[in-house]
Chains A and B, each alone.
Chain A
């Protein structure tokens, strides 16, 4: 009995750690969700519809895109198809988590899969494998709460923050990504710099003729594959880590 309750407390503390480490995501989502709520109102959605969309879809880029398309008079099927295309990149991220995550039941995986946004993926995946399932669930709880709550606030209050703070909050998610990258660079060195550099370059190139969601996915694949190729050719497959 005691070992069962120990295990329970251990999982609980992993969950708490996830929630705490998810706070930077929550901060980063605040301005994005506030703006989404505000624009949703001006697009003609009711507050219930705006909040419902944040509750059920939970994907920033495609929700913004939906608003734009609604304003342009697009039909529901078009919007759903566009959402599918924009979110296709998550196949790659979930595949990476599938490899790096601890063994867990399909039920647990189905639960945290719902919260695997770009940002939750970024925070979770830079942790050393095996990544604990409850940690990912905790990250998702923080991110989701902020996203849904500030969508509602934004609908009514709009930009209640002073312009100067709101402008500077736009940097939050980028600061988060940088904060995740630097420790990995310190630990693993030039391989991480090379991957991030190539990812950024290929995203920039692909963005010229594809939507951002695809450009991120193909940019990532190109970075990983080309680096592997370079290693094979110049280092004869020697592990450079």
Chain B
């Protein structure tokens, strides 16, 4: 095992500062008595996060912008047909590979 002590300390530090924001709201926040509007806003966070995670990142999966756009459209089609998550992900990968192979 080749572990340098300064690197280990750096990794531990990175681990702590990553864990803190993931942990604190979960053990400190008591949202039960919060007003309804603030609870509604929290429950809407996931969809806004999804939008922000998809765009604009999807455009840069490949130097060709259309690669990501095309993959996105395939994923939308699979998901629209109510396919399970794993099929949407696997199907999109395979379709894109096939497309790249053909063209």
Contact = CB atoms under 8 A, between A and B. Distances in A.
Most buried by B among A28, A52, A62, A178: A178
A184 B47 contact: yes
B68 A171 contact: yes
Interface in B65-91: 67-68, 71-72, 74-76, 78-80, 82-83, 85-86, 88-90
A57 B14 contact: yes
A203 B57 CA distance: 10
Interface of B is mostly: helix
A191 B86 CA distance: 26
A94 B90 contact: no
A199 B17 contact: no
Contacts of A110: 23, 26-27
A66 interface: yes
B73 to A, nearest CB: 9
Given A165-B93, A204-B56, A80 B14 contact: yes
Interface of B: 1-4, 6-15, 17-27, 29, 31, 34, 37, 39-58, 61-62, 67-68, 71-72, 74-76, 78-80, 82-83, 85-86, 88-90, 92-94, 96-97, 100-101
14 contacts: A47-B2, A56-B14, A57-B18, A94-B24, A123-B85, A168-B100, A174-B61, A175-B71, A191-B44, A195-B51, A199-B47, A200-B52, A215-B52, A223-B48
